[in-house]
Amino acid sequence: MLKQLYRQQNSKKRRPNQNFFEMGLKEGDILKFGRNEEFCTILNARQVSYGGESWFLSNLTNKLLDRTGPMHGAPYWYYNGKNLQDIYNETYSFE
């Protein structure tokens, strides 16, 4: 009982997974990669299209950065000149 109470009190609150539609984007919207001229297109609420294939944004970001491992891709992408991480933070702010 004490262990369960401790876990509840000390667990970090996790914000939701990124959902492009909840963030105000729609299918067909274009995201620009911040490190070069690459871009991708919103495919659905969770995936983008790049090079004729569907990708999760974190996996595509890893590919474009030539790296592996877990990462959050949003800080590397822009929608209409606004950083995707900023849009995420506005959408899923801590209350």
For residue 49, give both structure tokens. Answer: 């299209």
Lowest-pLDDT range, 12-16, 55-59, 71-75?
12-16
Residue 93's pLDDT band, with cuts at 50, 70 and 90, is confident
All residues at 6 or more sequence positions from 64 whose CB lies less than 8 Å from its CB, including other chains? 33, 35, 36, 38, 76
pTM of the model: 0.82
Helix (H) or strand (E) holding 30, with range, is strand 30-33
Give the number of other CB atoms < 10 A from CB of residue 63: 14
Tell me the C-alpha distance between 8 and 40, whole Å. 39
Residue 78's pLDDT band, with cuts at 50, 70 and 90, is very high
What value does the mean pLDDT take over residues 54-75?
A: 95
Which candidate, 71, 90, 87, 89, places its Cα nearest to that of 79? 87
What does the pLDDT look like over 17-43, one tens digit per residue? 999 999 999 999 999 999 999 999 999
